[in-house]
Amino acid sequence: MGIKPAKTLTLSDIARLAGVSESTASRALRDNPVINAQTREKVQQIAAEHQFKVNATARSLRTQKSHTIAVIILFDAKTQQTITDPFLLDILGVIADELTRQGYDMLLSTSKTTDKDWRSYYFDSKRADGLIVIGQGEHDERVEQLSSAGVPFVVWGAPTGSEAFAVIGSDNRQGATLAVSHLLAQGCKRIAFLGDIRHTEIEMRYLGYQDALQAAGIKPEPLLQLNTDFTAQAGYVQTQQALFKQLGSLDGIFAASDAIAMGAMKALLEHGVSVPQQVALVGFDDIAMSAYCTPSLTTVKQDTQAGGKLLVAQLLGQINGAKAASQLLPVKLIERQSSLRRS
């Protein structure tokens, strides 16, 4: 024999057991005050005894709310790699926690294999009440599509103040300026920029880089900007090539992400270039590993806690009728060994 599969109970079972109607049972379970206190407790107790759980599907169908948010991780169409950037994962974790705290479920999707049309797939099909898009590329055409469709959604990216939808992101330009000014203060004269400026966020960092140079009376050399994907490997390869090409006498590198910076550091050390003495290095993100490489990495810290919470708050706001609003988050320079030259 064995145990019967114990068919899941439904609301009507609970109602019958409690000797009330389904409507009363439903109201009792939702703490509707019109229900008599005794009745309510009786129903709740019976429900608890039988471990009854409301069928979320039926509830969603009836209430027209899924209480679920789809989080889409975008990837560069080129690299198409699985989740890997530690920074993304960091913010993903914050979003997950915050959504749970707010009573929402989180549907995760990587852009790699998903249906091209998120609106159809997640929103029209009622799988989710709203969307959060993170990852590189708020220029993605699919994001543009969303904005015209009345779908509540928020994007992590580079807020410009003029976009048609809500963008939450760090003050990349300011962060880069902090980083590069710091390098200049350490005595650097020729600083390379490693990052793909076709991504808006990185473009902003590049602008901040230029700002800092110009403020110091230095003319940015376009040749020192090297397009680099968001991986340690790309940083490594790009730095090797830069060294090989002998891009004059580099004495500083500003990498658009910590992963890139670590790749760059590897290449430098392998070639016997000392960090920070010969070349000072600054990254961006402040991922966990940055403090534990050797030399430890100076970097611009993005506030993932605030970012994740804001993404969620902004989205839930939209769902409840508020207007979409972008927001820029302050960043902070974390000085570590990779850039600090003892004076």
DSSP 274-322: -TTTTSEEEEEE--GGGGGSSSPPEEEEP-HHHHHHHHHHHHHHHHTTP
Q: Is 318 a residue that touches a copy of itself (CB under 8 A)?
A: no
Q: Dihedral (C-alpha) 316, 321, 325, 330: value to the nearest 10 degrees?
A: -30
In angstroms, what is the minimal distance from the CB of 153 to DNA?
21
Least Å distance, CB 20 to DNA, is: 4
Query: Which strand (E) or helix (H) includes residue 137?
Result: none
Q: What CA–CA distance (Å, rounded) separates 227 from 211?
A: 19
In which residue are the tokens 């969303």 written? 146
Choosing among a copy of itself, DNA, none, which partner's interface includes residue 224 (Cβ < 5 to 8 Å by kind)?
A: none
Q: Is residue 174 involved in binding DNA (CB under 7 A)?
A: no
Least separation in angstroms between residue 174's CB and a copy of itself is 25
Smaller CB distance to DNA: residue 20 or 310?
A: 20
Radius of gyration for the alpha carbons in the chain, expressed in angstroms and rounded: 26
Phi, psi of 103 (to 5 degrees): 80, 20
- C-beta closer to a copy of itself: residue 155 or 262: 262
The entry of DNA, a copy of itself, none near residue 143 (CB within 5 to 8 angstroms by kind) is: none
Q: Which stretch binds a copy of itself (CB under 8 A): 56-64, 221-229, 239-247, 323-331?
A: 56-64
Interacting stretch for DNA, rule CB under 7 A, among 9-17, 172-180, 217-225, 332-340? 9-17
Considering the rule CB under 8 A, would residue 56 count as an interface residue with a copy of itself?
A: yes
Minimum distance of DNA from residue 132's CB (angstroms): 24
Per rule CB under 7 A, count of chain residues that contact DNA: 29
Residue 224 and residue 247 in contact, taking contact as beta carbons nearer than 8 Å:
yes
Q: Does 274 bind a copy of itself (CB under 8 A)?
A: no
Give CA 22 to chain center in angstroms: 43
Applying CB under 8 A, does 96 fall inside the site for a copy of itself? yes
Residue 50 CB, shortest distance to DNA, in Å, is 11
CA-CA-CA-CA dihedral for 193, 299, 211, 76, to nearest 10: 50
**Of 66 and 338, which CB lies nearer to DNA in the complex structure?**
66
